[in-house]
Amino acid sequence: MTVGGNFQEAADAVRSPAVAFPKTTGGRKTPKPPALHRFAMLLGVLPTLWLLHALTARADAQPGNTAGANVVNGESPQAPRAQGQNPNGMHIYLWAGLKSHGPGEHDYPQFLADWSKVLTEHGAVVDGALHAPYAADLEHTDVIVLFKGDAGYLSDSEKAVLETYVKRGGGIVSLHDSLCGPDPAYFATLVGGAKKHGQVNYTLGAPLAYTIVDPSDPIMKEMSDITIFDEAFYEMTWAKEPGIHALATVKIPDTPVVAKYSPEFAGKVVPQIWTYVHTLPGGQPARAFVWMQGHTYTNFDNYQIQRMLLRGIAWAGKQPVDSLVDYVPPPRPMRLGQGAFPGSNSGEPAGRP
Q: Is the dihedral of CA 331, 336, 337, 343 positive or negative?
A: negative
What pLDDT is attached to residue 125? 96
How large a percentage of the chain has pLDDT more than 70? 72
Instruction: Tell me the C-alpha distance between 161 and 43, whole Å.
Output: 63
Range(s) of the chain covered by CATH 3.40.50.880: 91-316
Least confident among 1-10, 114-123, 130-139, 288-297? 1-10
**Per-residue confidence (pLDDT) for residue 52, from 0 to 100:** 45
pLDDT of the residue at 106? 84
Query: What pLDDT sits at residue 72?
Result: 37
Percent of the chain with pLDDT over 90: 65
Task: Examine the pLDDT at 161 and tell me if it is beyond 70.
Answer: yes
The pLDDT value given to residue 34: 57
Task: Confirm if 57 and 109 have CB atoms less than 8 A apart.
Answer: no
What is d(CA 350, CA 34) in angstroms, rounded to the nearest whole number? Answer: 58
Query: Which of these ranges, 276-290, 291-305, 322-336, has the smallest mean pLDDT?
Result: 322-336
pTM for the whole structure: 0.74
What confidence tier does 27 reach under pLDDT thresholds 50, 70, 90? very low
pLDDT for 102: 82
Q: For the residues 291-308, what does the mean pLDDT come to?
A: 98
- For residue 22, is pLDDT > 80? no
Whether residue 148 has pLDDT greater than 70: yes
3-class state of residue 277 by DSSP: strand
- C-alpha 183/C-alpha 181 separation (Å) is 6
Measured at the CA of 241, the angle between CA 239 and CA 242, to 5 degrees, comes to: 75
In this predicted structure, what is the pLDDT of residue 287? 98
pLDDT over 80 (residue 126): yes
Quote the pLDDT of residue 2.
43
- Specify the CATH class of 91-316 in words: alpha beta
Reported as a pLDDT band with limits 50, 70 and 90, residue 9 is very low
Q: Is the pLDDT of residue 6 over 70?
A: no
For the chain, what is the mean pLDDT?
82
**pLDDT tens figures, 198-236:** 889 999 999 999 999 999 999 999 999 999 999 999 999
pLDDT per residue as tens digits for the range 66-89 = 443 344 334 456 777 777 778 889
Stretch 59-70: mean pLDDT:
41
pLDDT of 188 higher than 70: yes
Q: Inform me whether the pLDDT recorded for 237 exceeds 50.
A: yes
Q: How confident is the model at residue 8 (pLDDT cuts 50, 70, 90)?
A: very low
In the predicted model, what is the mean pLDDT of residues 143-166?
96
Element (H, E) at 143: strand 143-147
pLDDT at 17 over 90: no
Q: Is pLDDT above 80 for 101?
A: yes
Residue among 183, 203, 199 at smallest CA distance from 191: 183
Provide the pLDDT for residue 198: 87
Contact by Cβ (8 Å): 289, 316: yes
Q: What is the mean pLDDT of residues 321-331?
A: 93
4 close to 59: Cβ distance less than 8 angstroms = yes
- Structure letter (DSSP) for residue 72: B
What average pLDDT does range 48-71 have in this prediction? 44
Whether the pLDDT of residue 20 is over 90: the answer is no
pLDDT given for residue 77 in this prediction = 65
Q: Is the pLDDT of residue 65 over 50?
A: no
Pairing of strands 227-230, 237-238: unpaired
